[in-house]
């Protein structure tokens, strides 16, 4: 083998070990490199210098962690070998000692100390971020009864037509998060009994220039935003239901749609790996910009429970807004859910993602989630909670 082949093999070994380089850290490095390459106004020498700095930092971190892991393995081997040697020597010395006079006690094996097995580190439970309380928004008209649509599972299946009272939410850090696999389009009978919350969060997703241009485009198209709709089983098109969802959307992103989708496709393999989902052929993509202002929200739902959107497979939500932000609430809550009377209902526990600018979240479309009410005292469009949200379809 050449020196390069040896180096490549060694690098592959380190990358395969989550103790050396986690998937989240690999995705962060990919994002940083993309920023360096797409930076405008920087010549090639400057970009190469930035990449060299990143490479040096990654190398130092990998080397330090690799040596720590190697040292721990060596110490554990020494401890195990020492205990084994001690047990063997003890057994040898015992065999030389005359046995007891009672013949019934002869032939009894001496007790040997058991080997200590290294214990894997316990995974850290997800943190419990503070959730600012928000007032429940009042619909602009008399509350309407939500249509009987499986995409609008905000009702208790045991009492049709009544709003459900979710259990007191538990801290996301109290339960174990299990990866959700990819579920093919199958009959309702084959739907899993439970859907644990699981997601991937990436920071600094777009380059600063790309984020600035997207924000300018959004603010410049305020007049083009339309009232958000929900899927109805009885209507050909979506319907406005202020009891279930309040916000405004822009369907045409211009050139920014291609920028975001290109970036998503570059990190998609790592995202799917971390979610425990298989790679799939993308047959279609739906993308929109959502503006949420004072009193806006989106009740508990999933993104592919209705027949009309069954092909949706992976949801993404990209946050961008003024920094510091001028609103409270608007948190994304991804619920642990169970199947009950043919629909998914919340277990009462969930993962909470507090909106951070230039951050993107990925999760399987079948997961139940909600957007908590937004409080925006100024009610200015520019102070809204903005997201580019969409779905990769198969």
Task: Indicate which CATH number applies to the domain containing 353.
Answer: 2.60.120.620
Closest CA to 291 of 173, 180, 209, 388: 388
Provide the pLDDT for residue 83: 56
Q: What is the residue-wise DSSP string for 85-105? A: HHHHHHHHHHHHSPPPS-GGG
Same domain, 195 and 305: yes
307: which strand partners? none
Provide the pLDDT for residue 230: 93
Provide the pLDDT for residue 205: 97
Provide the pLDDT for residue 60: 73
Which of 26, 56, 82 is at the close of a domain? 82
Same domain, 334 and 205: yes
DSSP 132: -
Q: Is residue 154 one of the residues assigned to a domain?
A: no
Q: Is residue 140 one of the residues assigned to a domain?
A: no
Q: Is residue 139 one of the residues assigned to a domain?
A: no
User: Are 173 and 125 contacting, i.e. CB atoms less than 8 angstroms apart?
Assistant: yes
- Domain around 58: 3-82
Same domain, 189 and 77: no
Q: What is the residue-wise DSSP string for 163-200? A: BP-PPPPBPGGGS---------S--GGGS-SEE----E
Counted domains in the chain: 2
Provide the pLDDT for residue 58: 78
Q: Is residue 113 one of the residues assigned to a domain?
A: no
Q: Is residue 346 one of the residues assigned to a domain?
A: yes
- Helix, strand, coil percentages (3-state) for the chain, rounded to 5, are 35, 20, 45
CA–CA dist 30, 266 (Å, integer): 9
Provide the pLDDT for residue 220: 98
Which of 18, 48, 82 is at the close of a domain? 82
317: which strand partners? 361, 389
CA–CA dist 113, 121 (Å, integer): 24
∠ CA 162-167-173, rounded to 5°: 145
Same domain, 46 and 183: no
User: Are 326 and 292 contacting, i.e. CB atoms less than 8 angstroms apart?
Assistant: no
Same domain, 59 and 198: no
Same domain, 193 and 76: no
Q: Is residue 61 one of the residues assigned to a domain?
A: yes
Provide the pLDDT for residue 22: 74
Same domain, 78 and 183: no
- Cβ neighbors of 368 (< 8 A, separation 6 or more) are 153, 195, 300, 301, 302, 334, 335, 337, 344, 345, 346
Provide the pLDDT for residue 4: 66
Same domain, 244 and 380: yes
Provide the pLDDT for residue 11: 76
Provide the pLDDT for residue 197: 95
The model carries a pTM of 0.57
Provide the pLDDT for residue 106: 37
Which of 33, 59, 82 is at the close of a domain? 82
Q: Is residue 164 one of the residues assigned to a domain?
A: no
* Ranges in the chain, pLDDT < 70: 1, 3-9, 36-42, 44-45, 76-77, 79-190
CA–CA dist 172, 168 (Å, integer): 12
CA–CA dist 393, 310 (Å, integer): 9
Q: Is residue 90 one of the residues assigned to a domain?
A: no
Burial label, 192 (beta-carbon count in 10 A; 0-12, 13-18, 19+): middle
């Amino acid at each position: 083998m050449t020196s390069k082949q040896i180096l490549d093999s060694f690098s592959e070994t380190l990358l395969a070990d989550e103790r050396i380089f986690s998937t989240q850290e690999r995705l962060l490095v990919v994002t940083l490199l993309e920023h360096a390459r797409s930076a405008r106004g920087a010549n090639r020498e400057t970009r190469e210098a930035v990449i060299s700095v990143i490479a040096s930092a990654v190398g130092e971190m990998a080397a330090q962690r690799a040596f720590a892991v190697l040292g721990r393995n060596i110490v554990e081997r020494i401890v195990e070998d020492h205990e084994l040697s001690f047990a063997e020597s003890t057994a040898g010395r015992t065999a030389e000692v005359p046995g007891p006079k009672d013949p019934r006690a002869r032939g009894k094996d001496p007790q040997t100390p058991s080997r200590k097995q290294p214990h894997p580190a316990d995974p850290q439970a997800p943190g419990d971020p503070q959730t600012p309380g928000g007032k429940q928004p009042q619909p602009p008209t008399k509350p309407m009864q939500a249509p009987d649509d499986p995409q609008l599972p905000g009702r208790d299946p045991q009492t049709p037509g009544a709003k459900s009272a979710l259990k007191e939410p538990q801290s996301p850090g109290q339960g174990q998060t299990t990866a959700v696999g990819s579920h093919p389009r199958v009959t309702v009978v084959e739907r899993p009994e439970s859907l644990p919350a699981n997601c991937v969060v990436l920071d600094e997703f777009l380059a600063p220039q790309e984020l600035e241009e997207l924000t300018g485009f959004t603010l410049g198209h305020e007049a083009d935003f339309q009232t958000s709709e929900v899927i109805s089983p009885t209507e050909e098109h979506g319907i406005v239901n202020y009891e279930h969802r309040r916000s405004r959307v822009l369907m045409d992103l211009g050139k920014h749609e291609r920028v975001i989708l290109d970036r998503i496709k570059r990190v998609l393999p790592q995202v799917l790996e971390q979610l425990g989902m298989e790679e799939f052929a993308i047959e279609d993509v739906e993308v929109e910009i959502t503006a949420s202002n004072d009193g806006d929200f989106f009740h508990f739902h999933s993104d592919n429970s209705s027949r009309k959107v069954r092909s949706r497979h992976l949801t993404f939500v990209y946050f961008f807004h003024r920094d510091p932000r001028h609103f409270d609430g608007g948190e994304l809550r991804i619920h642990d859910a169970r199947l009950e009377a043919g629909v998914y209902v919340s277990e009462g526990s969930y993962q909470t993602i507090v909106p951070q600018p230039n951050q993107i979240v990925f999760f399987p479309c079948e997961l139940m989630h909600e957007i908590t009410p937004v409080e925006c005292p100024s009610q200015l469009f520019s102070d809204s909670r903005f997201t580019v949200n969409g779905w990769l379809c198969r």
